[in-house]
Amino acid sequence: MRKFLLMLLVVATLPMFAQDNYKFRIASFMSEDGFETINYGYSDVLGTDIRAAHEIDMLSQPTVECIDSLVYNEAGQIASLVTYQLLDGEWLKVCWCDYTYNEMGLRATRTNYNDFHDGWGPQIGGTYYYTYNEEGQLTLRELDFCGIMYEKATYSYNNAGLMEAELIQLNPFTGIYEDSALTEFYYNENGNLTETLYFSYDGGWVLQSNLVQEYDEVGNCTVAQTLSSAGVAQEKRVFKYNDKELAENIFFYPNPEQDFPQLPEMHNMIESYEYWAMDQNSADGGLIYVIDYLFLYDVIGNGDDDDDDDTTSVNNISVNTRIYPNPTTDYVMVESEEVDFVQVLDICGRELFATEVRGTLAIDMKEYEAGVYFLRLHSNGATAVQKVIKN
């Protein structure tokens, strides 16, 4: 969970699916025990106009709760990512990133700010500048810190156009760049990233760790394992997929800062992954299973948009599901033969209310402020979302 944004860039091979007719959209990401959750908030009930990610980490002491709010420019590009954190019962703006783009639509700059609410006000963390070649490949990234180009990263590519190395050099305020870190990327014959080697410089390049990834026959990453420089397993993720649904039909959170969770390379819909970590209680080391992390989706369907009818049928789950009245001033009724659980979310994806359903449910919204809310309906592992307007 991120409390404050630092000067950070993660270069990774991630699936990008650009289209309009998505069948699903990411709704939530959570640990199986519910102690870590991210709910994604949309401004539209059946679309992909994502506006926020609401994160709760109850494993931290005290609990960390943040909202990442997305701001778009006229071209539909993410212009800012603003993070609010719940501190002593008050939502405070703690950090944000501003982005600009070049004529190719690629990121040109990234500037981040922190506000520690210590009386000094917002402080700039630094500005990254990005340079590309004619093919749109990133070739140079430079960090302006306190008016000095403190860091630069150069990138090289193989004949297939895949990134093969990232070299990071630092200028410790001497005017001379010194080698600092090197990352090498290796691929299989299908272009899947199979091995990532991380080096640091200490009079020579020293291997620090190695990320090894395995794939199935259609290109889904099935295992990602981090090894120490000695080849000892440090942690592992084992991914599970729904082979009946394609990843290209899913809208995922754009994740401009490449925060947790990062997605693996995939062909099919990711459903979950097992997380394994080092067994600290074993003299022989080895990995021990920790927990599953789950990906939950909304089915994007064609709800009843007839403004003259105050009853809505949720076609995603069943035509027998009715939500009324909508708009409402006090109560919303949910009648369904199939829905077994309901969440009420605000436009930022924060859960305001949740309960089980047994046939008919009356949701009291009298104390809610006027505005747009979303009901997330669960039925035998499937989910659907219905927008509700409170007058």
Structure token pair of residue 176: 């001379």
Cα→Cα distances 244→241, 268, 270, 292, 315, Å:
9, 7, 11, 21, 20
> Is 323 within 8 Å of 311 (Cβ atoms)?
yes
Task: Give the tens place of pLDDT for each residue, 199-240.
Answer: 999 999 999 999 999 999 999 999 999 999 999 999 999 999
What's the whole-number average pLDDT of the chain? Answer: 87
- Least trusted range by pLDDT, from 102-106, 121-125, 165-169: 121-125
| 196 and 67 within one domain | yes
| 196 and 156 within one domain | yes
Please tell me the pTM assigned to this model: 0.77
The answer on pLDDT for 4 being more than 50 is: no
Q: What is the pLDDT of residue 358?
A: 84
∠ CA 281-284-290 to the nearest 5 degrees?
Answer: 50
Radius of gyration of the chain (CA): 23
| 185 and 220 within one domain | yes
Task: Give the tens place of pLDDT for each residue, 11-69.
Answer: 333 344 445 688 889 988 989 888 899 999 998 877 899 999 999 999 888 899 999 99
The answer on pLDDT for 86 being more than 80 is: yes
Question: Would 3 be classed as within a structural domain?
Answer: no
| 32 and 80 within one domain | yes
| 125 and 76 within one domain | yes
∠ CA 262-267-273 to the nearest 5 degrees?
Answer: 45
The answer on pLDDT for 309 being more than 80 is: no
Closest CA relative to residue 286, chosen from 210, 233, 247, 324 = 233
∠ CA 29-30-34 to the nearest 5 degrees?
Answer: 155
Q: What is the pLDDT of residue 253?
A: 93
Q: What is the pLDDT of residue 259?
A: 86
The DSSP secondary structure of 49-115, one letter per residue, reads -EEEEEEEETTSSSPEEEEEEEEE-TTS-EEEEEEEEEETTEEEEEEEEEEEE-TTS-EEEEEEEE-
Full domain range(s) for residue 369? 312-390
| 87 and 40 within one domain | yes
- Number of domain units in the chain: 2
Task: Indicate the pLDDT class of residue 350, thresholds 50, 70 and 90.
Answer: confident
| 316 and 295 within one domain | no
Task: Give the tens place of pLDDT for each residue, 249-288.
Answer: 999 999 999 888 889 999 999 999 999 999 888 766 689 9
Q: Which of 299, 329, 363 is the last residue of a domain?
A: 299
